[in-house]
Amino acid sequence: EAGVTQFPSHSVIEKGQTVTLRCDPISGHDNLYWYRRVMGKEIKFLLHFVKESKQDESGMPNNRFLAERTGGTYSTLKVQPAELEDSGVYFCASSRRDRGNEQFFGPGTRLTVL
């Protein structure tokens, strides 16, 4: 069974540009989560999808961040326009509907905003 995959693995952009991160969860996992780790700080929750619906988006930092999960499969996280403080590692995780807490993580996307 394939694990959670994320694309790209690294992205370097300039302030003001737009970047879209993609996450493909484990097949059959209804729950999909986005987290972010800014250097030197703890990993922080961004949002949680159940299928295509946003269950909890309390961690989204501001309206420059837009997450979608059309069709309840893969998800995208777009940052527009990117700011310097958006730099960090963005992790995606997925879990089964009946084991929501057992989250399996992807390798992360390292975003650098210059």
Partner 1 sequence: AQKVTQAQTEISVVEKEDVTLDCVYETRDTTYYLFWYKQPPSGELVFLIRRNSFDEQNEISGRYSWNFQKSTSSFNFTITASQVVDSAVYFCALAAGNNRKLIWGLGTSLAVNP
Residues at the interface with partner 1 (CB under 8 A): 31, 33, 35, 41-45, 48, 55-56, 58-59, 89, 91, 93, 95, 100-108, 110
- The minimum distance between CB 89 and partner 1, in angstroms, equals 7
Exposed / middle / buried, residue 62 (Cβ in 10 Å: 0-12, 13-18, 19+): exposed
Return all residues near 16 (Cβ < 8 A) that are at least 6 apart.
81, 82
- The minimum distance between CB 92 and partner 1, in angstroms, equals 10
Identity of the residue, 9 or 80, whose beta carbon is nearer to partner 1 in the bound complex: 9
Identity of the residue, 15 or 44, whose beta carbon is nearer to partner 1 in the bound complex: 44
CA distance 101 to 16: 36
- The minimum distance between CB 56 and partner 1, in angstroms, equals 6
Identity of the residue, 63 or 101, whose beta carbon is nearer to partner 1 in the bound complex: 101
At residue 72, φ and ψ (nearest 5 deg) are 70, 20
DSSP three-state, residue 36: strand
- The minimum distance between CB 16 and partner 1, in angstroms, equals 27
10 Å Cβ neighbour count for 106? 21
**Residue 79, beta-bridge partner list:** 19, 65
Identity of the residue, 1 or 42, whose beta carbon is nearer to partner 1 in the bound complex: 42
